Structure 1
Amino acid sequence: MTSPSPSPRTTTPANVVVFGPGANCTLAICPVELSTYKYRPSLGANAVLLALFFVAMNIHVYLGLRWRTWWFMVFMMVGCGAEIIGYVGRILLYTNPFSYAGFLIQVIFITGGPAFYSAAIYILLSVTIEHLASDLSRIKPVFFYWMFIAADLVCIALQASGGALSTVSLGASQTGVKVALAGLALQVVVLFIFCLSFADYMIRYFLSSGSAGKRPITARMRVFFGFLSLAVLCILGRCSYRCYELSQGYRDSDVITNEGLFIGLEGVLIVVSVFALIVAHPGRVFGCQDQVALESTGRCAEDMSEK
């Protein structure tokens, strides 16, 4: 009795390399089910996401120049730029789902991009404390900035090195998967600690009665806090999804082959967070306050007097 022949939809043609630097598969000779993602990425969805990140990047650059929020602008610009490059990789995968270059580009840049948004968000804690009442903070505001930024750099390094290890091993390295997963998990932990630190300060602010120079929370600041919270929740949701996706590895994951989940929980959530940070832009609340020195220019003083 002869054993059944493998399905033609999952059989690798002779003399063909499916994945890696020497991959020579194309849709003309290989079924898409043999590709890493087992689907052909949607051109329309990925092009729309690319366009939205391009629009958001230009808005953030304009607002950064307008309000002189240099470091916030730089982090948002780099994050959006990374997303744009990443979605170019996704479009390359639409052209050829077996493209090793497309896979590398989207894994590195889409995975790492949101860490820069986290860095931009961390700036806002120290600026908010300095604006409302710095004497109510348990530690100096600038320490929050450097603590969270340093932790964020570790997250980026872990995610990048884990992705590189997995790619070099053609997806077979569990070490690479574990390192990248550690980077994503650490990003979730750091964001959670950030939320606790922000909540702790705000509780101390509302309970205080005799702080010198304590400023009231205006309607504009309430909008700022609302959209900042939305951005943080979106990034937390995205990181949780990517942790679950990566926990199954690159080769055996059912989640990684579901483009709908990717578009919704990676693309849409991050787009929402980027545009939420346009509404919650620090310049709209704090004027053109420098994000590192926490000093104001003459124009800032004019902006603040108008609030």
Structure 2
Amino acid sequence: MELGLTAEIVGYVARVFSWDNQWDQDAFLAQVVCLTIGPAFFSAAIYLCLERIVVVYGEANSRLPSKWYTRIFISCDVASLCLQAAGGIIASVALQNGQPLTTGDNIMIAGLATQVFALLIFIALCTDFALQVRRRQRHLGVSVALTQEVALVRIRGSLQFKGFMAALGLATILIFWRSSYRVAELNQGWAGPITFNQYLFVGMEPVLMAAAVYALVFFHPALCLPLCLREAMSETNKIISADNKDEGEGPESESPFQTAGSQSEVSPSARALR
């Protein structure tokens, strides 16, 4: 997120300099490269979050193991980022030498298209996961369809977690929308009508990205998930203490994720969340 924000800010500053001097090649290249690669960092942050969401609801509802979401989509994002960066470098060299930017532009378009395609598949899998959760809840009941660890049940019911999922979904759609616009812009070339429409740029680039960033800031996973986890741990500790008292044992400090079959190990779901 910090890398993405840095790239966006540098790109907007460079665009202001380009407005002041349209023949400033450094400012032109800086805004092209930074605003092109910036959202790739945001999408990588979003990909990391789905793994945790799958764990909270239970991997039985997912078509893929939770870890594979991160492995697959982060790999796609790295490939997209490399293509966009390579295209920007090639375009920069071509511009400095007075050569056409076609090759660099095409490589950047390929990188952006890879990012858009990966986001589209990601959205499809997220939608499928949500439908699968609802379908299994309706047919099997909540107690069977969803994991019933006390901590995870508490997380699912918290307002922070629900707000976090809504913000994550909004940010994903906005970044997908913005990346699609960028593909169309580069595909028409630097002399195309989209490139010269400043109002369209403002609506499709800074407005969308600002909305996505603010959504993830207000419902930051580092604030929402750990807060829910701490509340769940506190509640589970109370249950464990009550059980120990009923059995005539002292309320020792035990892991809130211990299972009946293992009093010393943390459950796989809790370990994945951590």
- Give the TM interval when normalised to the shorter protein: 0.7 to 0.9
% identical aligned pairs: 34
Question: Which residues of structure 1 form unaligned runs of 5+?
Answer: 1-75, 289-299
How many corresponding residue pairs? 220
The C-alpha deviation readout for 1:158-198, integer Å capped at 9, x for no partner, is 11112222232237232222211111111111111111111
Does the 8 A contact of 2:161 with 2:225 survive in 1? no
Find the counterpart in structure 2 of residue 192 from structure 1. Answer: 120
Does the 8 A contact of 1:122 with 1:149 survive in 2? yes
Matching of residue 232 in structure 1 with residue 172 in structure 2: yes
The C-alpha deviation readout for 1:261-282, integer Å capped at 9, x for no partner, is 1111111111111111113321
Question: How many Å separate the matches in 2 of 1:303 and 1:212?
Answer: 19
Distance apart, 1:301 and its partner CA? 4.6
Does the 8 A contact of 1:89 with 1:105 survive in 2? yes
TM-score, structure 1 normalization: 0.66
Question: How many Å separate the matches in 2 of 1:239 and 1:212?
Answer: 34
Does the 8 A contact of 2:178 with 2:205 survive in 1? yes
Does the 8 A contact of 2:15 with 2:27 survive in 1? yes
Distance apart, 1:212 and its partner CA? 6.2
Question: Which residues of structure 2 form unaligned runs of 5+?
Answer: 236-274
Does the 8 A contact of 1:287 with 1:304 survive in 2? no
Aligned mate of 2:193, from 254, 260, 270: 254
Does the 8 A contact of 2:160 with 2:219 survive in 1? no
SS of structure 1 residue aligned to 2:75: helix
Listed as ranges, the matches of 1:146-225 within 5 Å are: 146-170=71-95, 172-208=100-136, 209=141, 210-211=144-145, 213-214=147-148, 215=153, 216-225=156-165
TM-score, structure 2 normalization: 0.73
Find the counterpart in structure 2 of residue 109 from structure 1. Answer: 34
SS of structure 2 residue aligned to 1:98: coil
Distance apart, 1:249 and its partner CA? 1.4
Find the counterpart in structure 2 of residue 119 from structure 1. Answer: 44
Distance apart, 1:283 and its partner CA? 2.7
Query: Structure with the greater relative contact order (CA < 8 A, sep ≥ 6): 1 or 2?
Result: 1
Matching of residue 287 in structure 1 with residue 226 in structure 2: yes
**Which structure shows the higher helix fraction?**
2
Does the 8 A contact of 2:178 with 2:209 survive in 1? yes
Distance apart, 1:239 and its partner CA? 1.0
Find the counterpart in structure 1 of residue 241 from structure 2. Answer: none
The C-alpha deviation readout for 1:101-127, integer Å capped at 9, x for no partner, is 111211111111111000000011101
RMSD of aligned Cα (Å): 2.1
SS of structure 1 residue aligned to 2:147: coil
Listed as ranges, the matches of 1:27-42 within 5 Å are: none
SS of structure 2 residue aligned to 1:254: coil
